[in-house]
């Protein structure tokens, strides 16, 4: 059995190969584009693979994505005919939940203020807000967003989650509908964006959404950069109501040197590290999916193309 491996140009292929070999020792793994015979490829383990190429493998049984995002499949005009399975790694989901939790605590406990006070040698304790009185709204309740929502709720925060369809989650209030969202944004202390990127959500965060926020709210984008209109974001930071923006993802990555986002005093930037895929844990997971398919079983998280 042969496996095609392509992580957007070869990044960390040696680690992926090592991880996959550990669970699939009898399988041959070929790095794209060095494929001796496309007819022998039965599985493709890919991320951001060239559009249309996966139609060229006549015996392809399944495509295993190296990540949770699906925009590269959504934008492919000639997607593979074989079924596609998303990779929802519990290790990555936990990393993303902790990233979100960090910024919630950062906001709740006024750590920016205390850092500024330290520079001025000021000793001044600010009023402490209880976790249950901190309103957190999460947009996007897919596998990752749902995990983050429940993880935050377990830490005592009041959590609501907005999605297209009603979800049943532990200690999380499920919200749907545009009017409901606008109302929730006006009550939220912290808003965490976990929406997928597709033709419906591109530019989702525009002037209307930012203007609906509660005064002084914190906005955390850990999904995809093109979901946010950066001009609207900057205007909301400069003129209100947005108090702080935490950005982990951008339209262009790495973020360009000339971007005004770098120097804005109300923006915190991290280099797309909120939930980095770990080749060791993710490779073991993908290997288990391949074994499931070989045993006639169906792996979890099948990809469904956005309508």
Active-site position among 151, 224, 264, 284: 224
Mean pLDDT of 59-80: 92
**Is the CB of residue 23 less than 8 Å from the CB of residue 14?**
no
Q: Is the pLDDT of residue 62 over 90?
A: yes
Mean pLDDT of 27-32: 93
Q: Is the pLDDT of residue 188 over 90?
A: yes
Active-site position among 13, 272, 284, 305: 272
Confidence of residue 251 (pLDDT cuts 50, 70, 90): very high
pTM, full prediction: 0.93
Interatomic CA distance for residues 218 and 282, integer angstroms = 31
Q: Is the pLDDT of residue 111 over 90?
A: yes
What's residue 9's pLDDT?
62
Active site residue 224: yes
Confidence of residue 10 (pLDDT cuts 50, 70, 90): low
Portions of the chain given CATH number 3.40.50.720: 2-89+277-294, 93-269
Mean pLDDT of 118-142: 97
Query: What CATH number has the domain spanning 93-269?
Result: 3.40.50.720
Looking at domain 2-89+277-294, its CATH class is alpha beta
- H/E segment holding residue 191: strand 190-193
Q: How far is CA 117 from CA 121, 126, 236, in A?
A: 6, 11, 25
What's residue 67's pLDDT?
87
């Amino acid at each position: 059995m042969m496996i095609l491996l392509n992580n957007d140009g070869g990044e960390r292929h040696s680690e992926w190969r090592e991880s996959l070999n550990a669970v699939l020792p009898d399988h041959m793994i070929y790095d794209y584009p060095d494929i001796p015979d496309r007819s022998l490829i039965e599985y493709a383990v890919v991320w951001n693979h060239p559009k249309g190429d996966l139609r060229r493998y006549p015996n392809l049984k399944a495509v295993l994505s190296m990540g949770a995002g699906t925009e590269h499949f959504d934008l492919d005009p000639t997607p593979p005919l074989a079924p596609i399975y998303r990779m929802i790694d519990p290790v990555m989901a936990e990393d993303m939940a902790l990233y979100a939790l960090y910024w919630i605590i950062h906001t709740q406990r006024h750590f920016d203020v205390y850092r500024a006070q330290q520079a001025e040698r000021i000793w001044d304790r600010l009023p402490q807000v209880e976790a249950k009185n901190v309103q957190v709204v999460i947009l996007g309740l897919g596998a990752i967003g749902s995990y983050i929502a429940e993880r935050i709720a377990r830490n005592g925060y009041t959590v609501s989650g907005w999605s297209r369809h009603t979800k049943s989650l532990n200690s999380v209030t499920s919200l749907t509908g545009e009017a409901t969202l606008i109302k929730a944004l006006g009550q939220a202390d912290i808003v965490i964006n976990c929406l997928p990127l597709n033709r419906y959500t591109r530019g989702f965060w525009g002037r209307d959404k930012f203007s609906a926020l509660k005064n002084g709210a914190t906005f955390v984008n850990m999904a995809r950069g093109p979901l946010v209109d950066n001009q609207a974001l900057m205007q909301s930071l400069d003129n209100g109501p947005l108090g702080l923006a935490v950005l982990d993802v951008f339209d262009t990555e790495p973020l360009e040197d000339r971007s005004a986002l770098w120097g804005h005093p109300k923006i915190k930037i991290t280099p797309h590290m909120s939930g980095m895929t770990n080749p060791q844990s993710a490779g073991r997971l993908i290997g288990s999916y391949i074994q499931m398919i070989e045993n006639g079983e169906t792996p979890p998280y099948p990809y469904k193309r956005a309508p």
